[in-house]
């Protein structure tokens, strides 16, 4: 994989894609394996009120399939769409 510098644009309102993972696992107490699909992103955050926090945060999102990150490269700016269960169902790239 070609490596490139990843620039985090804290003024962008979406996420920066940094990677993905997929495979199979066997849930505890079950006999059948299940597929899993995860994508990893970085996003800017800040908080107010009694907290004072600025910077970026890394997050892992469950995905419906590996198709959602098809064609993405680490460093791409993306907007993520979730289904009603909080899984990523679509990603729009701005690169």
DSSP state letters, 15-54: EEEEEEEEEEE--TT-SS-EEEEEEEEEEEEEE-TT--EE
In a domain, residue 79? The reply is: yes
The verdict on pTM exceeding 0.95 is no
pLDDT in single tens digits along all 95 residues of the chain: 456 788 888 888 889 999 999 999 888 888 899 999 999 999 887 666 676 667 888 999 999 999 999 999 999 999 999 999 999 999 998 86
Domain span at residue 56 reads 15-93
Q: Report yes or no on 1 lying in a domain.
A: no
Give just the sign of the alpha carbon dihedral 17, 1, 69, 92. Answer: positive
> In this structure, is residue 68 part of a structural domain?
yes
The alpha carbons of the chain give a radius of gyration, in whole angstroms, of 15
Number of domains in the chain: 1
Q: Is the dihedral of CA 30, 31, 35, 36 positive or negative?
A: positive
């Amino acid at each position: 994989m070609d490596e490139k510098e990843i620039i985090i644009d804290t003024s962008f309102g979406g996420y920066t894609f940094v990677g993905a993972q997929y495979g199979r696992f066997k849930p505890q107490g079950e006999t059948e394996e299940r597929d899993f699909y995860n994508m990893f992103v970085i996003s800017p955050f800040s908080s107010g009120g009694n907290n004072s926090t600025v910077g970026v945060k890394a997050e892992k999102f469950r995905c419906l399939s590996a198709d959602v990150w098809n064609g993405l490269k680490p460093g791409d700016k993306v907007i993520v769409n979730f289904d009603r269960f909080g899984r990523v169902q679509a990603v729009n790239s701005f690169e």
